[in-house]
Amino acid sequence: MPTLRRFIALALLAALILAGANAAAAQGRQIVNVYSSRHYGAMEQMFVKFTQETGIEVRLSQGSPQALLTRLEQEGAQTPADVFFSVDTGSLVVAAERGLFQPIDSEVLRANVPEALRDPENRWFGLSQRLRTIVYNPDKVDPSELSTYEALADPKWSGRLCLRPATHVYTISLVASMIAALGEEKTEEVVKGWVANKPQLIDSDTRILETIAAGGCDVGITNHYYVGRLYAQNPDIKVKIFWANQEDRGVHRNVAGAGVTANAVNRENAIKLLEWLSDAEKGQAGDETGLPGGNYEYPVNVRARLNPIIEAFGTPKIDALPLSELGKYQKAAIDLLGRAGY
């Protein structure tokens, strides 16, 4: 019964929002409804700028990727959502596989978003790149000791690691990329090595970095832009980036990206939003109003300028695995993490 009541409540909410959207359209107001798993202030600034430039109002609903996917499925044709925005490739792949996106024929998006960073059928598009790599305290670790994600299974790191829990999408996607590169058997051996090193499991990249800086652990794995944020506040913080796996496949890459929902009422406005977000001088601007610049992420548009803090990180070799392939290993990664006792 609770599930039924929840479904009825969601359906009523969707109907109310959809009615509001239709009323707005009848009054001549331009809107686009976005379901987003991002939760950064920079995102709000971007939407404000988009509205100022286009006159299209952005209406935002936020939640975890899993919660928003469930909501989209339950709402079906009655969903008010025009765009689903996720911080993880796996969620975008799942949404496409479940028929929650529609293909978009846009020359602008094809020109702005490299092929490896979008769905082969153009159902979703990466909009900013997030590199998940090794971070360390320079007072405790010589960078010559570091090399790959796999090498963190070495017993010398016992009691010295800080990692995200197995349930977090960042961990799942990293392990999925390892399965794609190494196979399940080798990856499971590595993950069991991490577990044997008794890592502190901290469910926040920011807290991992703060713990490393405070001497609570020596090495961790985080997304690069969290380091960028801390450097903006304190350039002398005792944390440095080490780009993982530079002698083989390259550092793991994920994207924040979006697609137009299968039942989008404001389809044209949704496409305009994605095109705007992919534009080198607008949504990809290297300042606080652009998606990559405001959150210290790397742009997907090769013509976009980098935020100066990120530019100082250098140009790492990036794992060339097409992101559409990454999503295929998500379930295997979850199962492997469970078997390894992570």
Torsion sign, CA atoms 270, 275, 279, 284: positive
Phi, psi of 277 (to 5 degrees): -65, -25
83 occurs within a structural domain? yes
Same domain membership, residue 224 and residue 300: no
Same domain membership, residue 199 and residue 87: no
Same domain membership, residue 110 and residue 92: yes
314 occurs within a structural domain? no
What is the rounded average pLDDT for all residues in the chain? 90
Same domain membership, residue 228 and residue 115: no
pTM value is 0.85
**Could you list the residue range(s) of the whole structural domain that residue 155 is in?**
130-252+327-339
319 occurs within a structural domain? no
The residue type found at 208 is I
Q: Which two tokens stand for residue 116?
A: 């490896």
Same domain membership, residue 52 and residue 180: no
Domain count, the chain: 2
Same domain membership, residue 333 and residue 225: yes
For the chain, counts of helices (H) and of strands (E): 14, 10
Same domain membership, residue 146 and residue 11: no
The HSE-up count of residue 341 (CA atoms within 13 Å, CB side) is 9
**DSSP letter at 144?**
G
Same domain membership, residue 67 and residue 148: no
Across the range 240-245, mean pLDDT stands at 98
Q: Which among 201, 283, 217, 267 is positioned nearest to 31, based on CA atoms?
A: 267
Residue range 51-75, pLDDT digits in tens: 999 999 999 999 988 899 999 999 9
With a cut of 80, say whether residue 305 has pLDDT above it.
Answer: yes
Q: What is the pLDDT of residue 14?
A: 47
Residue range 252-275, pLDDT digits in tens: 999 999 999 999 999 999 999 999
Same domain membership, residue 303 and residue 243: no
Same domain membership, residue 171 and residue 114: no
Q: Which residue is listed with tokens 């790959």?
A: 148
CA distance 273 to 25: 17
SS3 at position 274: helix
Q: Residue 30 belongs to a domain with what CATH number? A: 3.40.190.10
Contact 73, 98 (CB under 8 A): yes
Same domain membership, residue 177 and residue 159: yes
